[in-house]
Amino acid sequence: MKYVYEFAEGSRDMADLLGGKGAGLAEMTRLGLPVPPGFTVTTEACKVYLATGEEPPELGVEAAGALAGLERAMGRTLGAPDDPLLVSVRSGARFSMPGMMETILDIGLNDQSVIGLAKSSGQERFARDSYRRLIQMFGRTVMGVDGDLFEQAIAAHKTKRHVRDDHDLDTAELSVITEEFKDIIRREAGEDFPQDPADQLSRAIRAVFDSWNGERARVYRHREHIPEDLGTAVNVQAMVFGNLGADSGTGVAFTRDPATGESGMYGDYLPDAQGEDVVAGVRDALPLSELKALDPRAYVELGDHLRRLEDHYRDLCDVEFTVEHGKLWILQTRVGKRTAEAAFRIAHDLRDDGTITADEALARVDGTELTRLMFPRFDTQATDLPLAHGVPASPGAAVGAVVFDSAEAVRRAAAGEQVVLVRRETTPDDLPGMIAAQAVLTSRGGKTSHAAVVARGMGKVCVCGAEALAVDPVARRFTTEAGVVVHAGDTVSVDGTAGTVHLGALPLTESDVGRALETGTSTGAVTEAVLGALAHADSVRRLEVRANADTPEDAVRARALGAEGIGLCRTEHMFLGERRALVEAMILARDATAREAALAALLPLQRADFTGILEAMDGLPVTIRLIDPPLHEFLPDRTELAVRLASATHPDLHDRELLDAVERMHEQNPMLGLRGVRLGLAVPGLMAMQVRAIAEAVADRLRDGGRPHAEVMIPLVGTVEELRLARTETERVLAEVEAETGTSLDLPIGTMIELPRAALTAGRIAEAADFFSFGTNDLTQTTWGMSRDDAEASFFPLYLEKGVFGVSPFETIDREGVGRLVEMAVVAGRAVNSRLETGVCGEHGGDPDSIHFFHLAGLDYVSCSPFRVPAARLEAGRAAL
Ligand code: PEP
Ligand code: MG
C-alpha cells in the first residue's frame, strides 16, 4: 500500500484516503491554482499507527522520497543552514474538524537555519519570531509541555516592555524568549528541543496522528457523529509567509457569504500575519474588501480563483490564503460550512442559475437545518438598546444566564439552566461549554474565528467580536462601553442574526420560515428557498408524512405544516385535566353499573374529541389508538395519598377508596404490565366505549357531509390472539353503531408493532390486521431492555462517551437491531396481507436519519410531532433521491 501522495498525484475523489484538506490541495494543484507544493500522508498510515503504536515501516522511505521531491520543486533543503526550506504539518481528516487537531508550522528551523532564514528573507525579526513560534507549538503539541508556560513567559516580557501586542517585541527580546522557551522544554519534557529537521518532521507527523485521539477531537466527533475509526491524514506543505511586512498577509475567503448565503466574495484579511492569527481571532481582521485597496492585484486574482473553485465544485467554497510579498498562495480549500439560512439560499440560487439540478439542491439541505429555521427569533420591534453590537456569526435567538467558562456552562446546563457562554475568544478547549450553552458571545474575532465557525456548525447562536465588551473571566463579569456591569448568572438575550446582545430576556417571535410554512406566504429569499426545496421534496418522496396529534388544534396546525393525516392519536391524553375525575370514577367503580355510568359520562367527551379531529383532517386518514398506559397513571401518587390519609384528623372516605385502588393496581414494572391491549381486554366496557365514540364521531361527520377516514389502532399487541379478541370486540361495536345510525362504517382495524414478539410473529398478526404502525419507542425499549423513561438520564452519557453507541437509540433508529425487526415484520406482514399498510409513529418518525431507514424498509408513511412534519417531508424527499 502507498502511504504518501504528492499533491499532484491526488484528486478530490480521494478524500477518504487523503482527508478533506489533502483532497482539496490535490484538486487545486490539478486545476493549476497557486498552491505551495507538498505531500499528504494518508489516513491509512494513521490507522496503522493508531492500531499498532508504530508507523507503517514503508512510511519513512516514502515520506523521505516525497520530501526530496518537495525540496527539488522549491530549490531548497529542509532546515538547511543557509536558505532553509520550512514546512507546515497539518491534520486533515475526511470530515472537517476545525481546530480540533494539531498543526505545527515552521518545521525546519533550528539554531543554525534561523540565521539562514534571517539572511535569505532579510528580516531578522521575522526569522526569530518564526523560530519562537515553532518552539512554542512544537513544545506544546509534540512534547506535551503546558502551553500556558510559554504564554506566561511572553506575557512577562510584554509587561516588562510595557507593550500589548506580540508584534511590539523586538528581535533581541525574541531571542531571549526563544532561549527561555528552550529552557522550559528542557525542564518540563526532560529533553532538548530537537535540532534535526528530519526528526522534527517525523515527530510532528506522529503528533498529528496522536491528536486524532485528543480530548477535543473526541468530543467533537461525538457531537458531529463522525466515526471514531477514520483517522486523519497529514499534510506536509512548503511554508509561505504572510508575516513579512505590509505587502504580505493572510486571510480566509468564501465564494458567498456563509452566514446569509448572499452571493459575492466574502471574508477576512489580516495584513502582516500568519494563518493561525485569523482562525484564532487573536487579532481583529479586516473585511476582505480592504484587500482591494491594499493589494488590488492579489484581490482580483483571489476573486478569479474563487470563481474557478465555485464553478468546479458547484458549491460554496472557502479558502485560506496567504500573500507573501504580493504573491498570492492558496493554502486550503473546501466546500464551506454554512448556516441553515445559507444552505437553503445557496442551494436555491445555484439551482436557479442552472449550476445544479433540483435533486442536487435538495440533497444539499437537510431537515435539521429546516427545523432550526422554524424556531422563533427576537421581536424586531423590541425597542431596548443592545448592550453591545458584534459580528452576527451564527443566526437565531437565545436567552440564558451568563457564564464565563466552559465547565460552568456544562454544570449549569446539566442542572437544567439555559446559559450563554461569554468569552474573550474561544479555543477548542471551550467546546463542551459551547455545546452546553444556548449561545456563545465573544468580544474578539470575526466571522471566521473559532467561536464563529464552531457555533455555526452546531447551529448555535453566536455573536463574536463584540469589542465594546470588557470581559473579565476572573471576576466573572463583563462591562459595556456605557459602564453597565453584567455578572455571572445575569440573564442576557443574544441575537445571532442581528449581532446584538441585550440585557434581560427579550420576547421571541415566530420565524418567517415557520410562519410561511403554516400560512404559505413567503416573505424573503430564505423562506422562498425553503418552500422551493420542500416543494421538490414533496414531488419526489414516496413516504407519506402524517402527524402525531391528539387535539383538533394540533391537527389543524399539523395539516397546515403539510401532514397528510394523523398517524397516532393518543386517546389517553384526552383523559387528563378535568376528565381525570371521570376516569377515577371508572376505576373506583364497585360494580358494573357504576362503571357503565362512568364510561357513559366519558363517551360524549371522547366523541366530541374525535369529531373535532376528523373535521380538522377531513379527507385524510386519522389513526386513533385505543387507551394505552396503565390505569394507575390516572390515579394520584401512592405515597402522597398515604401521607395525606395518615396525617388527616378525619380521613376522607374517598381518599381511603382511592388508596385501596392505587394499592390494588400497583405494579412493580408498569411499563411491562397492565397496559395497551391488555387493559382494553381487562376492563369491561372500556374498549367498547372508545370504539363507540369513534364510530359515532364518524357517523356524525358523514351525516354532516364530511369525509372521515378513522382507523382503529390496538396498542402493545404481542400475539395475534390478543388482536383477534380486540378486533372482534371492535367489529361488534361498529356493527351496533352501523345498525343504530344506518351508516356503513368500514373502518380499518390495525395494530401497533412495539414488542419484539409482535415483530417476530408479524406474519400471524397480519392475519388480523389491516395495518401495522411501528411504535419504535416501545419497540426500542423492549428490544434493548432499556427503560425509555430512565436510561437516557442514567447510563446513556457513559455509553455515548464510551462509544457503545454514537447516538441514543431512542433518538435515531438502531438499524441493526430494532430496524431489523421492522424490516422483518414488514416483509412477513405483507407476505400474508399484500394490502397491509405500514407506518411508524414512534419518535423516530421525525428523525432525519431514521426516515431514510424507513424509506429503505419500504414503509408507507412516517408520523411525527407537528413541528417536525416539514423536516420529515424534506428528509423523505432526500431519502428518495
Ligand atoms: C411507541 O411506543 O413508539 C409509541 C408511539 O407509543 P407511545 O410512545 O405512546 O408508547
Ligand atoms: Mg408505545
Residue 806 domain-assigned (yes or no): yes
* pLDDT recorded at residue 457: 59
For residues 828 and 764, the answer to whether their CB atoms sit within 8 Å is no
Average pLDDT over all residues of the chain: 92
Q: What are the Cα distances from residue 122, in Å, to 109, 125, 244, 399, 688?
A: 16, 9, 10, 53, 94
Instruction: Give the residue, 658 or 224, on which the prediction is more confident.
Output: 658
Enclosing domain of residue 425: 376-509
Compute CA 723 distance to the chain's CA centroid, rounded to the nearest angstrom: 40
My answer on whether 403 and 477 are in the same domain is: yes
Mean pLDDT of 777-786: 95
* pLDDT recorded at residue 279: 59
Residue 357 domain-assigned (yes or no): no
- β strands within 555-665, DSSP E: 566-570, 621-625
My answer on whether 799 and 860 are in the same domain is: yes
pLDDT band at 700; cut points 50, 70, 90: very high
My answer on whether 604 and 694 are in the same domain is: yes
Residue 43 domain-assigned (yes or no): yes
Q: What's the 9 CA to ligand 1 centre distance in angstroms?
A: 54
* pLDDT recorded at residue 561: 93
Helix (H) or strand (E) holding 315: none
Q: What are the Cα distances from residue 414, in Å, to 411, 435, 473?
A: 5, 11, 21
- β strands within 7-153, DSSP E: 38-41, 87-93, 103-107
Residue 648 domain-assigned (yes or no): no
Residue 235 known to bind ligand: no
Mean pLDDT of 346-352: 97
Residue 71 known to bind ligand: no
Q: DSSP assignment, residue 193?
A: P
* Residues paired with 329 in a beta bridge: 322
Residue 625 known to bind ligand: yes
* CA count, 13 A, side-chain hemisphere, 382: 20
- SS3 call for 259: coil
Write the CATH number for 234: 3.30.1490.20
Residue 777 known to bind ligand: yes
* pLDDT recorded at residue 84: 96
* pLDDT recorded at residue 459: 64
pLDDT band at 797; cut points 50, 70, 90: confident
Mean pLDDT of 132-153: 94
Q: ipTM of this model?
A: 0.99
Alpha-carbon torsion, ordered 65, 67, 69, 71, to 10 deg: -140
My answer on whether 874 and 859 are in the same domain is: yes
My answer on whether 458 and 548 are in the same domain is: no
My answer on whether 152 and 179 are in the same domain is: yes
Lowest mean pLDDT, pick from 96-100, 367-371, 492-496:
96-100
Q: Indicate whether 381 pLDDT > 70.
A: no
Active site residue 841: yes
Q: Which of 456, 489, 509 marks a domain boundary?
A: 509
Lowest mean pLDDT, pick from 84-98, 241-255, 801-815:
801-815
Q: Which of 509, 525, 555 marks a domain boundary?
A: 509
- CB distance 570 to ligand 1 below 6 Å: yes
Compute CA 638 distance to the chain's CA centroid, rounded to the nearest angstrom: 41
pLDDT band at 106; cut points 50, 70, 90: very high
Residue 838 domain-assigned (yes or no): yes
Q: DSSP assignment, residue 652?
A: -
My answer on whether 565 and 702 are in the same domain is: yes
Q: What's the 778 CA to ligand 1 centre distance in angstroms?
A: 6
429-441: b (≥16 Cβ within 10 Å) or e: ebbbbbbbbbbbb
- CB distance 295 to ligand 1 below 6 Å: no
Active site residue 317: no
Number of domains in the chain: 5
Write the CATH number for 823: 3.20.20.60
Mean pLDDT of 276-291: 76
* pLDDT recorded at residue 281: 56
pLDDT digits 0-9 by tens, 392-424: 887 789 999 999 999 999 999 988 899 999 999
Query: Residue 739 burial (CB < 10 Å; 0-12/13-18/19+)?
Result: exposed
Write the CATH number for 120: 1.20.80.30
Task: Calculate ∠ Cα 773-777-783, nearest 5°.
Answer: 100
Closest to 26 (Cα-Cα) out of 277, 266, 312, 240: 312
Write the CATH number for 271: 3.30.470.20
Residue 717 domain-assigned (yes or no): yes
**For atom 10 of ligand 1, which residue has the closest CA?**
778
- CB distance 778 to ligand 1 below 6 Å: yes
My answer on whether 487 and 439 are in the same domain is: yes
My answer on whether 233 and 94 are in the same domain is: yes
My answer on whether 482 and 613 are in the same domain is: no
Q: Which of 130, 161, 195 marks a domain boundary?
A: 195
Q: What's the 807 CA to ligand 2 centre distance in angstroms?
A: 21
My answer on whether 497 and 555 are in the same domain is: no
Helix (H) or strand (E) holding 319: strand 317-324
Residue 452 domain-assigned (yes or no): yes
Write the CATH number for 393: 3.50.30.10
567-586: b (≥16 Cβ within 10 Å) or e: bbbbbbebbeeebeebbbbb
pLDDT digits 0-9 by tens, 433-483: 998 999 999 998 776 677 876 786 566 889 988 989 999 999 999 999 989
**For atom 4 of ligand 1, which residue has the closest CA?**
775
**For atom 3 of ligand 1, which residue has the closest CA?**
775
Q: Indicate whether 877 pLDDT > 90.
A: yes
Q: Report the alpha-carbon distance of residue 23 to residue 2 in Å, rounded.
A: 16
* pLDDT recorded at residue 678: 97
Query: Residue 715 burial (CB < 10 Å; 0-12/13-18/19+)?
Result: buried
DSSP-assigned states of every residue in 84-115: -B-EEEEEEESS--TTTS-EEEEET--TTHHH
- Neighbouring residues of the ion ligand 2, judged by CB less than 5 Å: 754, 775, 778
My answer on whether 92 and 154 are in the same domain is: no
Residue 661 domain-assigned (yes or no): no
Which of the listed residues 572, 777, 850, 862 should we mutate to test ligand 1's pocket, taking the one with most ligand atoms within 8 A of CB?
Answer: 777
Give me the helix-helix angle, 592-616 and 580-588, nearest 10°: 150
Q: Indicate whether 687 pLDDT > 90.
A: yes
pLDDT digits 0-9 by tens, 820-875: 999 999 999 999 999 999 999 998 999 999 999 999 999 999 999 888 899 999 99
Which position among 305, 450, 844, 855 bears the catalytic label? 450
Closest to 10 (Cα-Cα) out of 746, 108, 21: 21
